[in-house]
Every structure is written in structure tokens, then in C-alpha cells.
Amino acid sequence: MELFDEIALEWGLELGEPFALARFSSVAPAGDDAVLKVTPPEDDESDEDADALAFWDGDGAVRLLRHDRARRALLLERARPGTDISELPDDEATAVAVAVGLRLWRPAGEPFRWIGDHVPRWLDNARDHELAPLARELYASFEPGRATLVHGDFHHHNILDAGGGRYVAIDPKPMLGEPEYDVPPFLWNPIAHRMTREVTERRLAAFAAAGLDEERMRAWAVIRGVYLDADEHESRVLLGLCS
């Protein structure tokens, strides 16, 4: 927090209470219209989050207002009212997520890294998971896309109401991949949700209707479920997606 307070003082920011759902980064409101976020160096998946926010420029994600790359500090637009879509009925939340995703998933290149350079290592680190053999088999069956910027942590708690019918994503872990890669975290969220086959199939159908490849979404759900450590119940649902 010392660095967090140092930057706030230097930038002339008056900080409020830190946000409760910020688990890895230090994140707090800075006045009425901005948010200060400082990301720890060990969160290397967030290395290009400022680059992604600048790329999106407020279209589908919060706006980047200021950035100190060396200190991993970002001053961001504060979404108002800022409620996340976990409070919406499921079908409505899914429709919002589809609409936001379609704005985010755009062709991009450097400086973003390719998911294919990282997923094999993440799977190796999760080799003891019960679905790891299936995940490795599925991953070996296709070549991941590399031309589309993906959010990386796309779920209910990272999509906020910004007012006036505008919804925006926050907290990206951006890489180059394919839209289907982004869908799995949405399937097992929000936090209070107990994953079921029925709801999962309905959500997949909504993304498929928007043009995403359903079989690749199912494969990515198993692959990402393994290295993101899906629990026993979630694993049974994920297994059913590929049966």
C-alpha cells in the first residue's frame, strides 16, 4: 500500500475505501469519476492491461485516463453506477456479456502476447487435475487463434453498468487468441452461481448465436477449467460438455 499511497499523493488523488472484490491488485475509487489501480509484478497476465484499455478506448471497456508503466499504476474511468451484471437475470446478463464481448474481440498484434505460448505451461502446472488428460487431448486437437485481442478474465464481476445502457469491462488480462477462449470464466460465474448443465448450455447457445464456435467454446471450457482449478462439481459439468 505504500506505493499505492505514494502514487495517489503524486497524482493529487483522494482515495476512498478499496474495492472488496479486488484480490490481487490494489484498487480504490479516486474521487467521483476515477479509479486508481496498482498491479503487483507477479501478476504477469496483466502486463498489457493498460495497452488493451488504450486500444479499446472506452468502447467495451473502461477508459484509461493515466498510466505509469514502470510502477504498474493505472488511473481509470469509474463506471457509474458500477454495479456488475451478476445482479441481472441470467439471460439478460448473458446478452450483455455477448454484446460487450463483440466490442472487445478485435484484430490486434503487438505488444500483446499469444495464448499459445502460455496455455501449455499452465496445463503442465495443473497435471494433477482430474480433467488434465482430456484437457491436453483437446488442446492438441486444434491450433489456438492468434489474431484477436481477448479480455482473459471475462465474467460477470468484470462487466459493469456505466449508465445510459452502456456496459464496460474492467480488469483485463489481455492476450492474442480467439473469442471462444474468453467464454469459460463466464460459464462458472458469478461467485454465488452453482454451475449446472442446463444454464451452461443456455449460455453457450447465446454466444454461439452471436457467431462463436460452439465446439471450441466447449473445448476451452475444459482446458481453462483445468488450469483455473475447477472444483469437483464444476468438473462434472465440464466433462458433460464434451461427452
* Extents of the domains making up the chain: 2-77, 85-241
**Average pLDDT of the segment spanning 91-114:** 98
- pLDDT for 23 beyond 80: no
* Model pTM score: 0.95
Q: Is the distance from CB of 72 to CB of 117 less than 8 angstroms?
A: no
Segment (H or E) for 79: none
Q: Residue 2 has what pLDDT?
A: 80
Question: What pLDDT score was predicted for residue 236?
Answer: 96
Give me the chain's average pLDDT, please: 95
Give the three-class secondary structure for 64: strand
Binned at pLDDT 50, 70 and 90, residue 141 comes out as: very high
Share of the chain above pLDDT 70, in %: 98
**Among 158, 179, 35, which Cα is nearest to 85's?**
158
CB–CB of 50/69 below 8 Å?
A: yes
The verdict on domain 85-241 having CATH code 3.90.1200.10 is yes
Kindly indicate the confidence band of residue 200, based on its pLDDT and cuts at 50, 70 and 90. Answer: very high
CB 150 within 8 Å of CB 105: yes
Asked if pLDDT for residue 119 goes beyond 80, the answer is yes
- Residue 139, pLDDT score: 97
Q: In what order do the strands lie in the sheet with 64-68?
A: 26-30, 34-38, 73-77, 64-68
Mean pLDDT of 161-176: 97
Asked whether the predicted pLDDT for residue 1 surpasses 80, the reply is: no
Distance CA(84)–CA(168), nearest Å, equals 9
Confidence of residue 3 (pLDDT cuts 50, 70, 90): confident
Cα(210)–Cα(133) distance, integer angstroms: 30
Nearest to 46 by CA among 20, 66, 28, 73: 73
Which pLDDT score is estimated for 42?
86
Mean pLDDT of 36-40: 92
Nearest by Cα to 213 from 240, 187, 181 = 181
Q: Options 3.10.25.10, 3.30.200.20, 1.20.1630.10, 3.30.565.10; which CATH number does 2-77 get?
A: 3.30.200.20
